[in-house]
Structure 1
Amino acid sequence: MTGTSSVELACRYGSPLYVYDLALVRESCTNLRAVLPPGSRLYYSLKANPHPTIVACLLDLGCHLEVSSAGEVDVACAAGASPDRVLFTGPGKTRSAIEHALRVGVRRFSVESAGDLDRIATASLAHSTKAECLIRVNRDAPLAGGSLTMTGVSSQFGVDASLLMDRPELFGSRPGADISGFHLYAASNIADPARLAEQLYENAVIAAELSSATGIALREVDLGGGFPAPYAGRGTTLDVAELTGLAERLSSVWSCYDRPPLLSFESGRFLVATSGSLVAGVVDSKTSKGFTYVVLESGVNHLGGMSGLRKLPRPQPSVEVLGGADGLVRGSLVGPLCTPIDCLSSDVELPVVTEGDLIRIPDVGAYGLTASLIAFLGHPAPTEIVIDGADGVISASRLTIARTPVGPEPFRESP
């Protein structure tokens, strides 16, 4: 996507706006599949970007979907996913969410605890069906090198490997739930390809050892992901050439199996991160006590909301001024919200801009709008534009938040 096309889109649809390019989604998916074992399954994690056109594109590319809420179940179905291509994960699957998934035909779940398994089995029996479950495993050893570690430490995610070894009877198949394998997800955004390959191999070895020790047969092993991609123009993208040989190494784990399990992998950020940009206008450029602040019409309500809550590092975005800029200045890039947490980057080199200039922040196709604080202060959400390379605009839409009546009490709109 060129700067000129961004300006044209802003002139046509206004700003701020997110622009996603399906051609880049296809490119990322093709590159990732090239290093995965032949016949393996690739799940797209909707949490990265649930835009229905992007989800439909990845379905067309053969991806399955990993969802973590009733809302994501609905997005998957609306995008055209067959329920048998949906895996429901997450540590907080409520009874109502499980029942909703079962009602629409989802039968595959990742189990996070003995209680989670019991709830799924009970709900499946009530719907006269049987769920197919992977047991998510919390490895006993921690993993270094990821931006967000979710195994090897005390965690809400998964069943401790030691517990699974000591009490396998808690996690066996039963009426309503058939255990079909293991799910191991170590960390997100592992920058070092060698470390990424090693953790995928270690996950495979752990799955094989747990199967042997517990007697749980393996039809599928979800080895997780961790495939890195830049965020807001910063960070590392995966050079897939550096994972050459991964498929052969993983296959060696199953060399003694008459029927090796299906290997599956998950990716959110790698598949969609580079496909998206945020285009936003400059509201003001001001100096306070000798320090410059560039104020945008978008802030942590549209980008980096989790970083604004200090749950992730600030994005420190790479900023391109559309139309050129005259010089650089040291300062902070901030948004329009009435809170000091609305800071996209601080004490960095910024282009000299004036009111009305447009800036573009690249590589925000993952963990952008829906990972932000879109309800806070009531600013309108950016328009979301989907293009397909040179074919131009495929769709243009905007998320809205509406209040709807619930329960017997009358609902009255404010005057």
Structure 2
Amino acid sequence: MELLAERPAGLADLPGDLAGLPTPAYVYDLAEVRRNHRRLDSALPRGTGLLYSLKANPHPDVLGALRETGARPEVCSSGELRAALEAGWPGAQVLYTGPAKRDAEIAAALRAGVREFSVDSPHAITQLDRLAGEAGVRARYLLRVNDDQPVPGQGLAMTGVPSQFGADTGWILAEPTRFAGGEHAEASGLHLYMGTNLTEVDDLVGQFRRALGTAARLREALAPHGVRFRTLDLGGGFGAPFAKEGTAVELPGLREGLEALLAEELPGWRENGPEVVFESGRYLVGTAGTLVTAVLDVKRSHGKDIVVLESGINHLGGMSGMRRLPPLSPRLLGPGGPPALDALVAGPLCTPLDTWTRNGKLPELSPGDLVAVPNVGAYGLCASLVAFLGHPLPAEVVVDGDRPGAPARTSRVELVRTTDPASADRL
């Protein structure tokens, strides 16, 4: 970890002095969100759709900017559904995913107008069919598929391994009648999310080729049972830098590769269907976010430099802070100067697990200095251990690089504990 710049990258256009920011703060630039959407949209075949995965960042201003671009929402919880509806998307545009859902969640989604769900098992199909019948509506589902083998080049295995996500391809082929729908829930397509955090165009095209090949096998198996695919969700996995320097990944040749692939595997799909859609979370918002935090203390302990920040594993890193995943070593940007410290960089939590790195090559720092972690617009605050030990949550500050005179908008999420057993049934 190094501190490199006089001012944290990505904040050059922030109104006012950084010293006036409430810290710690996640700062999101909506102009970067729009640029990322334009970049990805232009890299996908004409006539395909693009869904935004709210799990990456459900901030209402971020959602509003993406809704204005024409992206549709993909949610996997009642909280994310509420955020999508409050951002202005109608329930009919929502795809509700997730490997398991409570009856109350599905019933509430149906009441809100959601009609398309992703399911992972025969039980989930039966559950959706029953609840749609009780609501007096007809629902559709995309059958999520766990393919035979993992996709190479991905950051996190999403298919080809034992998983709560999807039904194994072999299972569907062996028992197609169990996946063919019910009286109130229609099988309308496949959900083929196979890879994540892929940064090479060849890897992306390779996973989509695999997905379309699997879709052809399943279409042949399910067609005799009355299933007609209206939608193919090919997932995404478009990579982006996280907690380190970098810019949004360029995708040269992706559109041409996908156009050729779709023409080969789905001739006439634009005229006759199915609708082809992709998903993205981190690519659209990852480079739009920066975590700004202050130095609280600098000292030496047993011959080691120690830098303590306002932010720790409770604000960035999610379960990596608890050693459930490999720990992060985020890049810090801040006051320049030659390396003078070989520091353990820690947060304020009362646990020795609260460290970001043990070997940070840093310039001299003093309490009150501001530093920043770039490219944390995705899976930053919303994936962090914000409730761990009850420390206050960071503020969220939204700026708009397309409107340099507009004031920054600051908000703060408050954790609320409820003992109302009916709350899960309300949006």
Q: Which range, TM-score by smaller chain? A: over 0.9
Please name the residue that 1:47 is paired with: 55
Give 1:16 shift: 0.9
Partner of 2:298: 285
| 2:323 is the counterpart of 1:310 | yes
The question of whether the paired residues in 1 share the 8 Å contact of 2:120 and 2:143 is answered with yes
SS in 2 for 1:47: helix
* Local SS of the residue matching 1:148: coil
Q: 1:224 aligns to what SS in structure 2?
A: coil
- Is residue 200 from structure 1 mapped to residue 208 from structure 2 by the alignment? yes
SS in 2 for 1:303: coil
Using structure 2 for the length normalisation, give the TM-score. 0.91
Tell me how far 1:185 sits from its aligned partner.
0.7
Describe the shift of the 1:249–1:346 C-alpha distance in structure 2 as closer, same or farther (beyond 3 A): farther
One-letter amino acid of the counterpart of residue 229, structure 1: A
For residue 5 of structure 2, what is the aligned residue in structure 1?
none
- Quote the residue 1:105 is aligned against: 113
1:399 to 413, 417, 423: 413
Q: Does the 8 Å contact 1:302/1:381 carry over to 2?
A: yes
Partner of 2:249: 238
Q: 1:250 to 1:346 in 2, by over 3 A?
A: farther
Aligned partner of 1:378 in structure 2 is 390
Cα shift readout 1:154-186 (whole Å, capped 9, x = no counterpart): 111000000100101001121110111100111
Q: What secondary structure, in the 3-state scheme, does the structure 2 residue paired with 1:245 have?
A: helix
- 1:63-121: CA deviation from partner (whole Å, max 9, x where unpaired): 01110011111111011111111100011211111111011111110011111111111
Partner Cα separation in structure 2 for residue 36 and residue 110 of structure 1: 22
Give the counterpart letter for 2:113 in structure 1.
G
| CA distance in structure 1 between the partners assigned to 2:15 and 2:230 by the alignment | 50
The answer to whether structure 1 residue 265 and structure 2 residue 278 are counterparts is: yes
Structure 2 SS opposite 1:178 = strand
Which one-letter code corresponds to 2:131 in the other structure? A
Shift of 1:43: 0.7
Please give the per-residue CA displacement for 1:197-255, whole angstroms capped at 9, x wherever unaligned: 11012111211221012213211100011100000115784221142423322322112
Q: Note if 1:227 corresponds to 2:238.
A: yes
One-letter amino acid of the counterpart of residue 415, structure 2? I
Q: Deviations over 1:351-398 (max 9, x none)?
A: 321111000111000000110011112211111011110244352100
Q: Structure 1, residues 12-35: CA drift from partner, whole Å, max 9, x if none?
A: 342111110000000000000111
Alignment match, 1:88? 96
2:372 corresponds to which letter in structure 1? R
Match of 2:25 among 7, 13, 17: 17
Q: Any conservation in 2 of the 1:234–1:315 contact (CA below 8 Å)? A: no
Residues of 2 paired with 1:54 and 1:139: CA distance? 33
Instruction: Name the CA distance, whole Å, in 1 between partners of 2:24 and 2:378.
Output: 17
Among 344, 350, 355, the residue aligned to 2:356: 344
Which consecutive unaligned segments of at least 5 residues does structure 1 have? Answer: 409-415
Question: How far apart, in 2, do the equivalents of 1:62 and 1:7 lie?
Answer: 28
For residue 9 of structure 1, report the CA deviation from its aligned partner.
5.5
Aligned 8 A contact 2:45 2:255 in 1: no
SS in 2 for 1:373: coil
One-letter amino acid matched to 1:212: E
Tell me if structure 2 keeps the 8 A contact 1:10–1:17: no
For 1:120, the equivalent position in structure 2 comes to 128
Superposition deviation, residue 297 in structure 1? 0.3
The aligned length equals: 407
In 1, Cα distance between the equivalents of 2:117 and 2:255? 31
Q: Identity of aligned pairs, percent?
A: 42
Residue aligning to 2:229? 218
For 1:162 and 1:398, how far apart are their aligned partners in 2?
47
Residue 187 of structure 2 aligns with which residue?
179
Provide the residue aligned with 1:413 in structure 2.
Answer: none
Q: Could you tell me which residue of structure 1 aligns to residue 174 of structure 2?
A: 166
Q: Over the residues paired in the alignment, what is the CA RMSD in angstroms?
A: 2.0
Secondary structure at 2:285's aligned position in 1?
Answer: helix
Task: Give distance in 2, aligned partners of 1:219 and 1:331.
Answer: 56
